[in-house]
């Protein structure tokens, strides 16, 4: 979150927060449920000490059970207003970013072909 | 809802006199509108952020307005995609049911809560807006003429916008001719309204300049005018109307402060009283937004966060190497799951927000715990500040202690 704070504060519109893109393909639901205390703590600290930093959140590759998790689990962890910023994307992530008017097609082209985002887990220079 | 319904009530005043009770009806007949009307609305999402109400789906079938729940349920029974059914009464949306196959329900709820309901509420306020419009026109007629000015905006370096103000178009064009190798956009400014006159120069900065003027310069100008008009401190509605287009360095010292700036000042004072360092402008604004502008609550929350940061030594955690583990096996497992690839700052989206990518594919918390990594070691990899919070976390695992040298 310290990284997020720095990035948001130095952006053109700090009041709009940041766009968080979570890649959860191959992330089995059981793995999520077995780490509920971990995620609860993440949510609690974010809410209490880093408020209003989230502009929107895209969960890429959400499993079919994702909607149930959002309805029954996440609503207990985070408030309704923040929940409204969470969007589950089951289809092509690149298309979702363009269709949702988050990035231009050119920006997505720059991100995807070199494996920076969806093809590999190559570390980049600006890591958290 | 009529205009009178939205006006503040007057204590001890009686509105039971028949002649007075006719006034709302008079407004209703003048401006239209009616009492609370119950109807049912079904919302679906066809593609990302493409929200569709049943009126669109049922166009031509005679079901454009559903006033009966049974009818609405009959309609949704035919839908295969995700849907949420609402009862709408007096502009208030109440969720009745949801269903269908897909993941779109949270998005639909967000859309209804933040856009559809707000839009209806806005429409409900149209009558009041009409009245305000008439009053605005009266003010315009009575107030002195607005001085016109010309502003040339350039961008020198990324997001470093430089507005330059001129009294007439000729002088502005002379200034533009002197610019070398940079984009510029020329605006005519009248009563806080920026109208583009011309644009030119070499480069790709014009969209950014237009964005800046539309979202920052023009709203600031409008706020300034409103403030001057309301406060009356400057002796007239439009007096000093062009001060806002000057650069921050040349702005007059007695420039009025916006309500947000005033709240921030109060927040800084309240934080000082609570023994906390004053927050930065952005940080303070976030706490105020979180607490709906309640300065006292925001100050208490900020002071608590400041104490938390000090007690847990957040700054220490941000030191390079502070998160390295002593056990090489645990460190390797943690690096594989939550190395630098796990959080990347990619670029900025179309709204100017930083896009931050979290790769959680390799994160398996129970597996890491089994390999001797504790929760307090995992959390800061996503969020450095969370390291300390895990001291009080649910899964402390003392096996993987941090190296003393790091």
Residue B318: list chain A partners with CB under 8 A. Answer: 2
- Chain-centre distance of CA A42, in angstroms? 13
Question: Are the C-beta atoms of residues B374 and B389 closer than 8 Å to each other?
Answer: no
Cβ contact (<8 Å) for B282 and A23? no
In a domain, B32, yes or no: no
In a domain, B398, yes or no: no
Question: Are the C-beta atoms of residues B188 and B195 closer than 8 Å to each other?
Answer: yes
The gap between the terminal CA atoms of chain B, to the nearest Å, is 66
Cβ contact (<8 Å) for B107 and A87? yes
Q: Among the three residues B208, B230, B250, which one is the final residue of a domain in this structure?
A: B250
In angstroms, what separates the C-alpha of A45 from chain B's closest C-alpha? Answer: 7
Question: Are the C-beta atoms of residues B260 and B289 closer than 8 Å to each other?
Answer: no
> Scanning every residue of chain A, which has its alpha carbon at the shortest distance from the alpha carbon of B304?
A49
Geometric angle at alpha carbon B368, from B362 and B370, rounded to 5°: 145
Count how many domains chain B has. 4
| pLDDT at B131 (0 to 100) | 64
How many Cβ contacts (< 8 angstroms) between chains A and B? Answer: 225
Residues B289 and B345 in one domain: no
B46 touches chain A (CB under 8 A): no
Q: Is A2-90 assigned to CATH 3.40.525.10? A: yes
User: What residue spans of A13-117 are helical by DSSP H?
Assistant: 29-33, 36-49, 66-69, 75-77, 80-83, 93-99, 105-111
One digit per residue, the tens of pLDDT, for chain B of length 406 reads 443 344 333 333 333 333 333 344 444 444 444 444 678 888 888 777 778 777 655 544 444 567 788 888 888 887 878 888 888 877 788 888 888 887 888 888 888 887 776 666 656 555 555 666 666 666 556 655 556 788 898 887 777 788 888 888 888 888 888 877 678 889 988 777 888 888 888 777 788 888 888 877 777 666 554 433 333 333 322 223 232 233 333 344 445 566 777 788 888 888 888 888 888 888 888 888 888 888 888 899 999 988 888 887 777 776 666 666 667 777 777 777 776 667 777 788 888 888 888 877 777 777 777 777 766 666 666 554 444 333 333 333 333 333 333 2
Residues B332 and B239 in one domain: no
Residues B208 and B234 in one domain: yes
Residue with the larger pLDDT of the pair A18 and B375: A18
| pLDDT at B328 (0 to 100) | 74
B159 touches chain A (CB under 8 A): yes
A99 touches chain B (CB under 8 A): yes
Q: Is residue A40 very low, low, confident or very high in pLDDT (cuts 50, 70, 90)?
A: confident
| pLDDT at A1 (0 to 100) | 75
Residue with the larger pLDDT of the pair A98 and B402: A98
| pLDDT at B333 (0 to 100) | 74
Q: Is residue A8 very low, low, confident or very high in pLDDT (cuts 50, 70, 90)?
A: confident
Would you kindly state where each structural domain of chain A is located, as residue ranges?
2-90, 93-123
Residues B378 and B297 in one domain: no
| pLDDT at B286 (0 to 100) | 87
Residues B151 and B245 in one domain: yes
> Which of A1, A36, A43, A51 is best to mutate for the B interface (most B CBs within 10 A)?
A51
Domain that holds residue B224: 146-250
From A14, A55, A99, residue closest to B48, measured CB to CB: A99
Residues B267 and B200 in one domain: no
| pLDDT at B123 (0 to 100) | 60
A113 touches chain B (CB under 8 A): no
Q: Among the three residues B64, B98, B126, which one is the final residue of a domain in this structure?
A: B126
Report how far apart, in Å, the C-alpha atoms of B2 and of each of A36, A86, B14, B24 are.
49, 36, 18, 6
Prediction ipTM score:
0.83
B109 touches chain A (CB under 8 A): yes
Residue A53: list chain B partners with CB under 8 A. Answer: 286
Question: Are the C-beta atoms of residues A28 and A66 closer than 8 Å to each other?
Answer: no
Cβ contact (<8 Å) for B347 and A9? no
**What pTM value is reported for the model?**
0.47
> Which of B97, B267, B341, B357 is best to mutate for the A interface (most A CBs within 10 A)?
B357
């Amino acid at each position: 979150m310290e990284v997020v704070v720095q990035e948001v504060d130095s952006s053109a519109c700090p009041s709009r927060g940041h766009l968080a893109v979570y890649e959860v393909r191959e992330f089995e639901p059981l793995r999520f449920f077995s780490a509920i205390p971990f995620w609860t703590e993440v949510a609690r600290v974010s809410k209490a000490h880093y408020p209003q930093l989230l502009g929107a959140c895209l969960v890429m590759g959400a499993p079919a059970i994702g909607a149930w998790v959002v309805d029954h689990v996440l609503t207990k962890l985070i408030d309704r207003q923040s929940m409204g910023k969470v969007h589950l994307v089951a289809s092509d992530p690149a298309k979702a970013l363009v269709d949702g008017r988050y990035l231009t097609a050119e920006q997505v082209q720059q991100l995807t072909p070199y494996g920076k985002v969806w093809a590999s887990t190559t570390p980049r220079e600006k890591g958290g | 809802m009529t205009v009178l319904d939205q006006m503040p009530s007057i204590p001890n005043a009686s509105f039971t006199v028949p002649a007075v009770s006719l006034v709302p009806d008079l407004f209703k007949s003048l401006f239209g509108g009616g009492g609370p009307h119950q109807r049912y609305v079904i919302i679906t999402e066809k593609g990302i952020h493409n929200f569709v109400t049943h009126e669109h789906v049922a166009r031509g079938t005679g079901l454009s307005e559903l006033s009966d729940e049974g009818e609405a349920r009959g309609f949704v029974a035919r839908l295969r995609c995700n849907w949420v059914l609402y009862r709408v009464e007096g502009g208030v949306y109440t969720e009745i049911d949801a269903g269908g196959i897909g993941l779109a329900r949270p998005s639909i709820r967000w859309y209804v809560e933040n856009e559809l309901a707000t839009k209806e509420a806005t429409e409900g306020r149209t009558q009041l807006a009409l009245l305000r419009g008439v009053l605005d026109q009266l003010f315009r007629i009575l107030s002195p003429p607005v001085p016109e000015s010309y502003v040339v905006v350039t961008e020198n370096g990324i997001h470093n916008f430089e507005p330059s103000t001129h009294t007439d178009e000729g002088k502005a064009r002379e200034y533009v001719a002197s610019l070398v190798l940079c984009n510029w956009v020329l605006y005519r400014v009248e009563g806080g309204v920026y109208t583009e006159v011309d644009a030119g120069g070499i480069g790709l900065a014009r969209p950014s300049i237009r964005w800046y003027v539309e979202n920052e310069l023009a709203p600031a100008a409008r706020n300034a005018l409103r403030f001057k008009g309301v406060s009356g401190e400057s002796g007239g509605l439009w007096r000093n109307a062009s001060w806002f287009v000057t650069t921050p360095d040349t702005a007059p010292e007695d420039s009025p402060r916006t309500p947000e700036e005033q709240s921030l000042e109060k927040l800084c004072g309240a934080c000082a009283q609570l023994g906390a360092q004053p927050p930065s402008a952005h940080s303070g604004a976030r706490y105020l937004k979180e607490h709906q502008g309640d300065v006292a609550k925001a100050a208490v929350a900020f002071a608590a966060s400041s104490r938390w940061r000090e007690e847990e030594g957040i700054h220490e955690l941000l030191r390079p190497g502070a998160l390295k583990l002593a056990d090489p096996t645990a460190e390797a497992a943690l690096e594989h799951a939550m190395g630098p690839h796990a959080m990347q700052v990619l670029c900025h989206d179309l709204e100017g927000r930083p896009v931050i990518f979290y790769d959680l594919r390799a994160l398996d918390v129970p597996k890491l715990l089994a390999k001797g990594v504790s929760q307090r070691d995992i959390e800061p990899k996503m969020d450095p500040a969370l390291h300390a919070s895990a001291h009080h976390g649910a899964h402390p695992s003392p096996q993987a202690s941090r190296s003393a040298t790091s």
